[in-house]
Amino acid sequence: MFERRLYHHIDFGLLAAILALCAIGLSQIYSATGGWTAIVETQIVGILLGTVALVVCLSIDYRTLADKSHWIYGAVVVLLIYVLLFGAVRGGSRRWIDLGAFNLQPSEFAKATLALVLAKFLGDSRRGVVSNVDLVIAGAVTAIPLFIIAKQPDLGTAATLIPVAFAVAFVAGMPMRLLGILAVVAVLAAPIAWRFALQDYQKERISTFLDPAQDARGAGYQQIQARITVGSGGPWGKGFTEGTQGQLRFLPVAHNDFIFSVLAEEQGFAGVIVALGLYFFIIMRAIQAAQLAKDRLGAYLVLGVLASFTFQVIYNITMSAGLAPVKGLTLPLMSYGGSSMIATLAGFGLILNVRMRRFTN
C-alpha cells in the first residue's frame, strides 16, 4: 500500500511546522504548570500517539478510507452516544471515555470523520455543482454528531463541526447566494437564540465579553486577565517560565485554553509572530494541498479537516488576547489534551495523505 516513491511526496515542510508548534506548546505547558509534571508527560504521550495516528492516516490511501467512511462515521456516532450515556463526568459534562491511563474524547475525532464522510458524499456527486438535496443531506449528516456533542454539553466542540460542513459545501460549489441567505438568517436568528436557546451562563459570557468590567471578579475576570497577560508581555516577553500572570495563576487553565496567552507573555510579540506565522504557513500549505489534490474527494477532505482546525486556531488565539468571549476551545497542536492532539495529528495525516498521493491513480 505504501510505495517507496510516495515517501518523496510527503510535505516535510508542513510536517516540520506541525512538530515545531507541538514543541512550542509543550515548552509552554512545561512553563505554565511549573516544571516537569504529569501533565507534560501526558502531552508527550499524546504527541507520540498522535504521530502514530498521523502515520497510520498517511499510509492508508484516503480513497480507501473514504470508501469505509460510512462505517467510521457510524462508529463515531455510536461512541458519542455511548459517552452521552456512560461517559465520565467532569466539570458538569460527559465528554470522556475513561480508559484508565487515558481519557478518550470521541468528539475530537468527530471532526475528521465528518470531513471524511462529507468529502466522500459530495465528492462522489456526479454533477459538478451540488444540489440543494445534497446540501440538506450534508446538513443532516453534520447535525447528528453536532446535536449529540451539544447534549454532552460541549458547545465549543459542537460548533467546530459547522465550519467543516460549510467549508466542504463551499468548495463543492454551494451557491454564494445561499451563503448570503444563511448569513442573514443567522443574524436574524441571533436575538431569538438569545431569548430561547441560550443558557444563563452562556448569556452571561457574551454580555461579559461586551463589557468585562461589569463582572471584573467573575466571568469578566478571565478576559481582563488574558489581555493583561498578553499586553504585559511586550515586544520580547518576560522570558521562559518568568511570566507572572501564568505562573501565579492569575490566568486560569493557562496550560490549556490560554496556552497562547502564556506564550505571548513569556515570548512577547516576537514569539506571537513566530507562532502565528507557523499556523499561517500550515493553513496555506494545506490549502495548497487541496489545490494540488488529484480529485474532488481529496480537495474536499483537506478543506473539511482544515476548516475545524482553522476555526479553532483563530477563535482560540482571539480569545487568548481577550478579544473574544471565553469558551472552552483549545488551541490545536499547542494546548494540553491527548485526544485533541491525536485527532489533530490524525487529521494532518489525511491532509498529507491527499498531497502525497496527488500523482497516483
Q: Using the rule CB under 8 A, is 233 a contact of other proteins? A: yes
Name which of 145 and 268 has its Cβ closer to other proteins.
268
Are the C-beta atoms of 293 and 286 separated by less than 8 Å? no
Name which of 84 and 314 has its Cβ closer to other proteins.
314
What whole-number distance in Å separates Cα of residue 300 and Cα of residue 134? Answer: 14
What whole-number distance in Å separates Cα of residue 39 and Cα of residue 186? Answer: 40
Nearest C-alpha neighbor of 357 from the set 15, 23, 53, 59: 59
* 86 C-beta neighbours (distance < 10 Å), count: 10
Q: How many residues are there in the chain?
A: 361
Cell of 68: 469505509
What whole-number distance in Å separates Cα of residue 268 and Cα of residue 71? Answer: 46
Name the segment binding other proteins (CB under 8 A); options: 27-35, 40-48, 263-271, 343-351: 263-271
Name the segment binding other proteins (CB under 8 A); options: 76-84, 92-100, 198-206, 313-321: 313-321
Cell of 333: 497542536
Please give the residues from 314 up to 343 whose contact with other proteins meets the rule CB under 8 A: 314, 317-318, 321, 323
Smallest distance from the beta carbon of 31 to other proteins, in angstroms? 16
Name which of 86 and 280 has its Cβ closer to other proteins.
280
Please give the residues from 267 up to 306 whose contact with other proteins meets the rule CB under 8 A: 268-269, 272-273, 276, 279-280, 283-284, 287, 290-291, 294-296, 299, 303
How many residues make contact with other proteins (CB under 8 A)? 45
Are the C-beta atoms of 305 and 350 separated by less than 8 Å? yes
Residue 76, φ and ψ in degrees, nearest 5:
-65, -45
Name which of 80 and 122 has its Cβ closer to other proteins.
122
Q: Using the rule CB under 8 A, is 71 a contact of other proteins? A: no
Name the segment binding other proteins (CB under 8 A); options: 43-51, 192-200, 223-231, 348-356: 223-231
Q: Using the rule CB under 8 A, is 131 a contact of other proteins? A: no
Q: Using the rule CB under 8 A, is 164 a contact of other proteins? A: no
Name which of 139 and 218 has its Cβ closer to other proteins.
218
What whole-number distance in Å separates Cα of residue 355 and Cα of residue 349? Answer: 10
In the block, which residue shows the cell 441567505? 181
Cell of 335: 494546548
Smallest distance from the beta carbon of 44 to other proteins, in angstroms? 27
Smallest distance from the beta carbon of 177 to other proteins, in angstroms? 14
Binding residue for other proteins, selected from 32, 66, 171, 331, defined by CB under 8 A: 171
Assign 55 to helix, strand or coil.
helix
In the block, which residue shows the cell 480507501? 64
Nearest C-alpha neighbor of 356 from the set 123, 124, 63: 63
What does the binding site for other proteins look like in residue numbers (CB under 8 A)? 128, 167, 170-171, 173, 217, 225, 227-235, 244-245, 248-250, 264, 268-269, 272-273, 276, 279-280, 283-284, 287, 290-291, 294-296, 299, 303, 310, 314, 317-318, 321, 323
